[in-house]
Structure 1
Amino acid sequence: MRSETRRLLMTWVVLVCGAAWAQPLVGPSVGNADALVAEGTKLYNKRKYADASRLLLQATRANPTLLPAYLGLARARMGAKETAGACAAYKAWLRSAPDVQERRKAQGELELCERQLKAARKKKKNKVPPDLTARHVELKAGFFEALEARKLRGADSAGEALRTLVAEGYLGADLGEMGQRLSAQCRATAGELHQRALAGEAVPVTQLREARELLDLAKDTGEPVAQADAQAPFLDGMVLLQTGDANRAQEQFARATTAAPERSEYKVWRATALQRAGDLGGALAMMEQELPNDPRTDLLRVAVAQGTSPEAGAKELERLLFQRYPPTASR
């Protein structure tokens, strides 16, 4: 019996995960919760229960504190004969709903739902999703332990625990808080690693890749990083630069520059990538256009001149030392 239950659980999880694994988990990236509830309600009123259920479930992910979405989801699932899911949605609503007149009606609907589920388990044990309540309690505990340990992604991480909860159909307003806390830590960690790399610190490739993935995880669980459209290509460029692909690295740095033209560091890193790719002239041309008054542009000019001839290099160095930066008069 236990092995059969475990087999059923794993089969059901794989089927659910296949549809949800690569999508945003919680928060605004999922969609507009109010619009989803409105559209789901319209479909419910047209008796299109399965379609309504899909949209209302999405609404509970987009805003886990929006209580009407849970009750609408419960009733849509009942209409679609998704009894186990309907019971879970009723319970989620009752856990958080205030003591209003609707509560007594919903409680009665839940009791009917649970009687139907109990009967279904007796008749069709292999086709009814297992009760995951205890498992979800463990997953939530594991989430907060991993969050405390700052283990945000990968095996046994907060990100993995949250993704599994979503994939397995967990419902509850606390999902919003979990997403917000994970997103905040992702933003902070990614921002720190980005800043270190931007300043020229030798950040290992594994950490650069982690920072890049944390940008996506922050967006998928809550608030996106404000400058993600610039930080993401920069981090990709740093990985490429460190792994020897300077040509593609400068393309990524160019994307970062386009997204955040006020950040001179992205331009300097693009020049660095061009230089490493063997295009010193291209690096100088870019710096002269973008950062004509930057001291590093002068250094590149000297390097290009030295590559032309020793005399040209000496002349450019003399110009730099005595014309661009004249010595101060001695007293």
Structure 2
Amino acid sequence: MQPISNYFNRQGALLSTAGPVILLLGMVIIFTFINPRFLSWINLFNLMRQSSILLVVATGMSFVILMGAIDLSVGAIVTLVGVSAAVLVTQGGLNAFSVAVSALGIGALCGALNALLVLKLRLPSFVATLGTMTIVGGISTWISGGVTVFFRNPDLTWIASGSIIGRVPNSGVLALIIFALASFVGTRSQFGRSLSAIGGGGVTARLSGIDVLRTKAFAFIVSGLLCGTAGLLLVSRTSTGTAHMGDDLLLQAIAAVVMGGTALSGGSGGVHRTLTGVLVIAVFQNGLTIAGIHPYVQIMVTGMIVILSVTITLDRSRLAFIK
């Protein structure tokens, strides 16, 4: 079995680097051939607007996956922030600035809860964040009453749909700034190098002098904070809060991270690779929409992409057993 594992690992290293870029270019060519409007400025701006929220969530997820953990609560946190923001506007009468601060605070608090469950109670990240996802989802349904919360606040809408640079939407500009800063932190800072070391082996990282607990806690809090940012952008763009508005982001974020080249087992890849994975997912969905493919089919194909990406990038030599 060892030669087979080595073969998959060698192929994974090659495909995780060049594969997503080749796939992205291929999709652009195919979708442009199907519908020339795919490369129109209107559709490109729309593509940026759609992918910005996923990019923010996937950036936070990258930090967590890089250290060999997982955060299944990202979609639920986005939903909670979106619903809370809508309720704060309609019932609390808060202005856009207060809502934005509250959104970031809620996201960071949820990330801190995940860190507490994983590090203090020593729960596996899969179990801890699955529980958090369920709890946060229940709170979202309770706050919204199970119905869509509509609001009208031009200042809040401007955060995502306005434009300070030409016709480029603010959501796209903010997402790129967040990604650039996170990429710099991930590749140039001690924190980023520590995450890779922890993903490669927690014991070795600890013996190297890395504060494993603090680094892991910070990664979960950053993930929650960025989910709060994504939730703010989503509710600002749609002017509605619903109990399931962020559900699709979990699967898409995992797909984007692993397709970008960060191994699900941790230790290799990095935040800087996530943009390619996000573009693959966004272009794929946008192209299928323009081609008239049903959204349910898009969801099924996205699931297949996750399976394929994990198959390519998973380091089987680090798995003690497979069920």
TM-score between the two structures when normalised by the length of structure 1 = 0.23
TM-score between the two structures when normalised by the length of structure 2 = 0.23
Look at both structures and tell me which one has the larger radius of gyration over its CA atoms.
Answer: 1
Higher relative contact order (CA closer than 8 Å, sequence separation 6+): 2
